[in-house]
Amino acid sequence: MSDEEMVKQLYLDLSKASINQDTDALNEILAEDYILVHMTGRNQSKQEYIRSVQKGELKYCRSIHESITVKIEGNTANIVGKTKTFASPFGMSSSWWRLKQEIKAEKRNDKWVIKESIASTY
């Protein structure tokens, strides 16, 4: 599998792990220094994000991936994913969100991990 294919799969794996509340997979996918910047501007560390998913505070139910673009330079990658996501974040009622994630990934010890994700709508 090429680096581009691995990075695209990383994006898909993040979505699947979040929907399935798979904390083991999230621990593998996300770098220890991972930061999620929500569309509200709120920042969450890796552990805060995983706890929110595990507790159902960030409840992801279904995703339809519309586009995933990848740009790789050496051991870094920029991913822009546009996904329709059925979710109920932080106690809001469940609805469809047009979620855009701008992700920075890094290859560490021959394995791609996500360092940062900036969420917005599209």
> Looking at the whole model, is its pTM more than 0.85?
yes
Q: Radius of gyration of the chain from Cα atoms?
A: 13
Look at residue 84 and give its three-state secondary structure: strand
Picking from 115, 96, 109, the residue whose alpha carbon sits closest to that of residue 31 is 115
DSSP string, 12-78: HHHHHHHHTT-HHHHHHHEEEEEEEE-TTS-EEEHHHHHHHHHHTSEEEEEEEEEEEEEEEETTEEE
Tens-level pLDDT at each residue, the chain (122 residues): 999 999 999 999 999 999 999 999 999 999 999 999 999 899 999 999 999 999 999 999 999 999 999 999 999 999 999 999 999 998 888 999 999 999 999 999 999 999 999 999 99
pLDDT of residue 92: 87
Terminal Cα-to-Cα distance of the chain (whole angstroms): 30
Answer CATH for 3-121 from 3.30.429.10, 3.10.450.50, 3.40.50.720, 3.10.20.30: 3.10.450.50
pLDDT of residue 79: 98
pLDDT of residue 103: 98
pLDDT of residue 54: 96
